[in-house]
A = this chain, B = another copy of it.
Amino acid sequence: MSINLETARTIVAAARKFGADKGFSPLTVVVLDAGGNVLAVEREDGSSNKRFEIAHGKAFGAISIGVGSRALMARAEQQPYFVSAAGAAIGGALIPVPGGVLVKADGATIGAVGISGDTSDNDEAAAVAGIEAAGLTPITG
């Protein structure tokens, strides 16, 4: 099972609404399916040029390794050489800071959400809000 586009759109909309309500800086929201492939992206006006690449790297790192990107940050603090090497190995960037959140349903990982634009903690909060708005379970670390 994997997130479908309609669910991805719900997540994007709810994450963006959460950010707007909280007064966050403009966000970029990326949703990946269970295979780690891009499903939906929106980069808000004023979110800088490469925010897609950063948000993607949070979500792609998370779904690639099977943990939220907050756990990848903890690993980077202890073993930076692992995270650097893993990033080179997975065929795409791995951004090891909060904001890459796994999406679970009935215990299975069905996708991941990556957000960039505000602080890493706020990015993660918006991802969690988006996932919960779709009735799914976020895993942050």
Contacts and interface: CB of A to CB of B under 8 A. Distances in A.
A10 interface: no
User: How many A residues touch the partner, as a band?
Assistant: 35 or more
Q: A33, A52, A92: which has the most chain B beta carbons within 10 Å?
A: A52
Q: Chain A binding site: helix, strand, loop or mixed by DSSP?
A: mixed
17 contacts: A2-B34, A5-B44, A35-B37, A37-B52, A38-B41, A40-B42, A40-B43, A47-B66, A48-B64, A57-B86, A57-B89, A79-B97, A80-B80, A81-B83, A85-B93, A89-B93, A91-B91
Given A35-B37, A48-B64, A84-B85, 16 more contacts: A34-B34, A36-B49, A38-B41, A40-B42, A49-B63, A49-B66, A51-B65, A51-B66, A53-B91, A80-B80, A81-B96, A82-B96, A83-B85, A85-B94, A85-B95, A91-B91
